[in-house]
C-alpha cells in the first residue's frame, strides 16, 4: 500500500513539473531554432546585386515579414496532414491559440503538434508502467487501452494548458502597457504625426519597456501600409492580443478614422479610463492579499512561531521530568 501511494505521489509530482517546465523549455527551444535558421539563411544569401534585383518581387511576396506561409501549415508529415484534413476546426483552434501566445513562426503549428504527440506518448508510457507494475488488478490489455486513451487526452489538454498560460502571461504584459501606449498616442497625435507614424514611433519607444506590445505595434504599422482597410488591421490586432483594453483602443481608432472625429480627444478620455482601470486592478490585488497569505502563514509561518515560542517550554518540561525521574 505504501509503495502504491509513493508511486501516485511521484506521478503527480512528475505531472506538475512537466506542466510548469514545458512552456519555458519550449519557448527557449523555439527561440534557439529561430535564431539558428536565421543564421543559416544569412550564410546562404548570395552577395550578388543582380540576384536581389531579379528576386525582389519574389522575396517581397513570399517573405512578407512572416505574415505568409510556404506550403502546408503542418509541414510534410503524413500524420499531421491527415489530422488537419480530418478535423479542420481543431487546427484552426490551435492556430488561434498559437497566435495569442505570440508563436508566429512558419512551423509553429507543426512544432505544437509534435509537442502534443510527445506529451501523449510520455503520458501513455508513464500510465502503462504505473498500472502494469502495481497490483491494481487490471489486465495488461486493459491497462494499455486506459493508458492510450488517458495519454492522448492528457497530452492534448496539457499542451493546450501550457500554451494558454503563455497566452495569458502575454496578455497581461500587453494590458500592463496599454496606459503608456494611449498616453504616447495622445502626445504623437497632438504633435502632428499621422496614425501610422505615431504607431511606428511608439513601437520604437516601447521596445525597452514593453517589447511584446512594441512587436504588436510594429506589426500593426506594417499592416496599415499593406492593407487598405484599417478596420481589418485593428481586427487582426484584437485577435492577436485577445485583450479587452486593446479592443477598446482599436474600436476608438477605427471610429475616429471612419467618422473623422478628433483623435486626441478620444484618446485622452481613453487614457484616463485606462489609468483608472490600472488603479482599480491594483486595489483589487491588494484587497486579495490577506486571503492569499492565509495558507502560507498557516503552513510556513505559524509552525515556526510555535517552535520558537513553545520549544523552550517543552525542553524545560522534558528536563524537569527527566531530573524528577532520576532522583
DSSP assignment of 115-137, as one string? HHHHHHHHHHHHHHHHHHHS---
Are 153 and 194 contained in the same domain? Answer: no
pLDDT score for 322: 82
Are 134 and 274 contained in the same domain? Answer: no
Of the listed ranges 60-69, 216-225, 240-249, the least confidently predicted one is 60-69
Over residues 308-321, the pLDDT tens digits come to 888 888 888 888 88
Confidence of residue 32 (pLDDT cuts 50, 70, 90): low
The answer as to whether 299 is a domain residue is no
Hey, what's the cell of 158? 496539457
Three-state SS at 55: coil
pLDDT score for 34: 63
Task: Check residues 229 and 59 and name the one with the higher pLDDT.
Answer: 229
pLDDT score for 62: 35
pLDDT surpassing 70 at residue 76: no
Are 185 and 257 contained in the same domain? Answer: yes
pLDDT score for 22: 66
Over residues 265-276, the pLDDT tens digits come to 778 888 888 888
pLDDT surpassing 50 at residue 41: yes
% of the chain beyond a pLDDT of 90: 0
Are 133 and 6 contained in the same domain? Answer: yes
Task: Give the residue numbers spanning the domain of 20.
Answer: 2-45+70-169
Are 157 and 185 contained in the same domain? Answer: no
Q: How many domains does the chain have?
A: 2
The answer as to whether 183 is a domain residue is yes
Confidence of residue 67 (pLDDT cuts 50, 70, 90): very low
Are 7 and 101 contained in the same domain? Answer: yes
Is there a contact between 218 and 200 (Cβ–Cβ < 8 Å)? yes
pLDDT score for 7: 64
CA–CA distances in Å: residue 253 to residues 4, 169, 193, 220, 257: 60, 25, 14, 12, 6
Q: Which of 169, 195, 230 is the last residue of a domain?
A: 169
Angle among Cα 141, 142, 145 to the nearest 5 degrees reads 90
Angle among Cα 150, 153, 154 to the nearest 5 degrees reads 75
Over residues 188-222, the pLDDT tens digits come to 888 888 888 888 999 888 888 888 988 999 998 89
Are 114 and 248 contained in the same domain? Answer: no
The answer as to whether 296 is a domain residue is no
Over residues 88-117, the pLDDT tens digits come to 677 788 888 888 888 888 788 888 888 888
190 CB neighbour count, 10 Å cutoff: 12
Amino acid at each position: 500500500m505504501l509503495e502504491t501511494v509513493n508511486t501516485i505521489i511521484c506521478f503527480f509530482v512528475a505531472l506538475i513539473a512537466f506542466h510548469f517546465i514545458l512552456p519555458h523549455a519550449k519557448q527557449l527551444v523555439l527561440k534557439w531554432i529561430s535564431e539558428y535558421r536565421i543564421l543559416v539563411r544569412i550564410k546562404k544569401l548570395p552577395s550578388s546585386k543582380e540576384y536581389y534585383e531579379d528576386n525582389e518581387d519574389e522575396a517581397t511576396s513570399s517573405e512578407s515579414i512572416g505574415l505568409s506561409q510556404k506550403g502546408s501549415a503542418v509541414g510534410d508529415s503524413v500524420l499531421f496532414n491527415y489530422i488537419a484534413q480530418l478535423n479542420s476546426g481543431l487546427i484552426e483552434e490551435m492556430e488561434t491559440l498559437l497566435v495569442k501566445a505570440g508563436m508566429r513562426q512558419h512551423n509553429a503549428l507543426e512544432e505544437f503538434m509534435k509537442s502534443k504527440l510527445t506529451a501523449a506518448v510520455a503520458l501513455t508510457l508513464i500510465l502503462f508502467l504505473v498500472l502494469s507494475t502495481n497490483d491494481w488488478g487490471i489486465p495488461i490489455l486493459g491497462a494499455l487501452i486506459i493508458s492510450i486513451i488517458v495519454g492522448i487526452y492528457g497530452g492534448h489538454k496539457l499542451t493546450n494548458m501550457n500554451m494558454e498560460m503563455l497566452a495569458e502571461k502575454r496578455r497581461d504584459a500587453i494590458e500592463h502597457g496599454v496606459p503608456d501606449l494611449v498616453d504616447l498616442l495622445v502626445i504623437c497625435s497632438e504633435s502632428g504625426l499621422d496614425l501610422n507614424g505615431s504607431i511606428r514611433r511608439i513601437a520604437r519607444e516601447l521596445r525597452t519597456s514593453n517589447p511584446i506590445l512594441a512587436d504588436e505595434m510594429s506589426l500593426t504599422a506594417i499592416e496599415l501600409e499593406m492593407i487598405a482597410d484599417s478596420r481589418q488591421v485593428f481586427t487582426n490586432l484584437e485577435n492577436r492580443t485577445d485583450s479587452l483594453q486593446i479592443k477598446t483602443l482599436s474600436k476608438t481608432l477605427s471610429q475616429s478614422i471612419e467618422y473623422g472625429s478628433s483623435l486626441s480627444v478620444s484618446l485622452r478620455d481613453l487614457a484616463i479610463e485606462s489609468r483608472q482601470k490600472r488603479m482599480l486592478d491594483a486595489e483589487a490585488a491588494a484587497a486579495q492579499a490577506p486571503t492569499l497569505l492565509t495558507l502560507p502563514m498557516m503552513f510556513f509561518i505559524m509552525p515556526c512561531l510555535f517552535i520558537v515560542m513553545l520549544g523552550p517550554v517543552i525542553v524545560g518540561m522534558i528536563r524537569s521530568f527527566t531530573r524528577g525521574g532520576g532522583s
